[in-house]
């Protein structure tokens, strides 16, 4: 079986090592002999929605988000076609904000999003920085906790059929008010969790791999792999108090 990954704008949105999410995704595929190829998508590259099963976009400062926001407007149609075809997306922080309707930073222009998620973001007066533990509602194996690190001033609010990936028990999450963290709609997942997220959350990585395979192969069951160290890291991180 094969998975084709589109890594969106890695030279602009890769803050806090978010590229580690792609590395973890690839590793957990190759350890199962799943053939996986990564295609880096840069500014002015055309996206053919038929080619990719999994899309990743990382986080970044407001400056980089401006460039990517303008570029994403040109890619709105193929990315919506990809979403409607069952492709899987993972968007982290700054990339997550641009997958909503808009991100309104403190200064400068309001950045248009591409509305893959029914969400909007407005810069707040506090920068939320610290560890986050989430109780997820997603159908994950082993446990429903997700753990990561947040660093954002944007406050994200969900609407319509978009649901949070879970509720925060440590940290602030989407906006520090309604206890929600992240968002998903169809197979599009957004979150504020840096870390990077996937290496310490093998169950979420496997969930994304499973969804990415099912787009082309129907129902699949992933082979068990030895991920003792990933779970040691997850369980240690989940116990952090702030």
| Binding interface with ligand GLN (CB under 6 A) | 15, 59-62, 65, 93-94, 151-154
Please list, in sequence order, all residues whose beta carbon lies within 8 angstroms of the beta carbon of residue 191, skipping any fewer than 6 positions away: 90, 91, 92, 93, 96, 146, 148, 165, 181, 182, 183, 197
Residue with Cβ nearer ligand GLN (49 or 182): 182
Nearer CB in complex with ligand GLN: 71/227: 71
Which of 7, 194, 203, 234 is the catalytic position? 194
Q: Compute the least distance from the CB of residue 153 to ligand GLN, in Å.
A: 4
Q: Which is nearer to ligand GLN, 62 or 230 (CB)?
A: 62
Q: How far is the CB of 228 from ligand GLN (least distance, A)?
A: 30
- Least distance from C-beta 61 to ligand GLN, angstroms? 5
Q: Catalytic: 152?
A: no
Catalytic residue among 93, 152, 203, 234: 93
State yes or no: is 194 an active-site residue.
yes
For ligand GLN, the closer CB: 104 or 215 = 104
Residue number, nearest CB to ligand GLN: 59
Alpha-carbon Rg for the chain in angstroms: 17
Q: Rank residues 94 and 166 by Cβ distance to ligand GLN and give the closer one.
A: 94
Q: How far is the CB of 33 from ligand GLN (least distance, A)?
A: 34
For the bound state, the minimum distance from the C-beta of residue 240 to ligand GLN, rounded and expressed in Å, comes to 19
Which residue from 185, 187, 130, 118 is spatially nearest to 156, judged by alpha carbons? 118
Bridge partners of 119, per DSSP, are: 158
Q: Which residues are tagged catalytic? A: 93, 194
């Amino acid at each position: 079986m094969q998975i084709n990954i589109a890594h969106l704008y890695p030279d602009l949105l890769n803050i806090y090592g978010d590229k580690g999410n792609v590395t973890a995704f690839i590793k957990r595929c190759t350890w199962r002999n799943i053939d996986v190829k990564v295609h880096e998508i840069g500014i002015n590259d055309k996206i053919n929605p038929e080619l990719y099963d999994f899309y990743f976009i990382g986080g970044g400062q407001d400056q980089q988000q401006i460039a990517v926001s303008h570029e994403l407007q040109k890619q709105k149609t193929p990315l919506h076609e990809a979403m409607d075809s069952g492709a899987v997306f993972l968007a982290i922080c700054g990339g997550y904000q641009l997958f909503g309707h808009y991100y309104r930073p403190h200064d400068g222009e309001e950045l248009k999003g591409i509305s893959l998620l029914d969400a909007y973001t407005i810069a707040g007066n506090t920068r939320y920085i610290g560890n986050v533990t989430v109780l997820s509602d997603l159908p994950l194996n082993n446990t429903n906790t997700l753990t990561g690190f947040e660093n954002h001033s944007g406050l994200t609010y969900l609407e319509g059929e978009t649901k949070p990936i879970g509720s925060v028990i440590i940290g602030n999450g989407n906006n520090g008010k309604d206890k929600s963290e992240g968002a998903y709609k169809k197979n599009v997942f957004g979150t504020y969790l840096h870390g990077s997220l996937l290496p310490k959350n093998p169950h979420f990585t496997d969930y994304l791999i499973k969804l990415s395979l099912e787009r082309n192969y129907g129902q699949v069951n992933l082979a068990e792999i030895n991920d003792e160290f990933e779970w040691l890291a997850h369980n240690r991180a989940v116990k952090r108090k702030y």
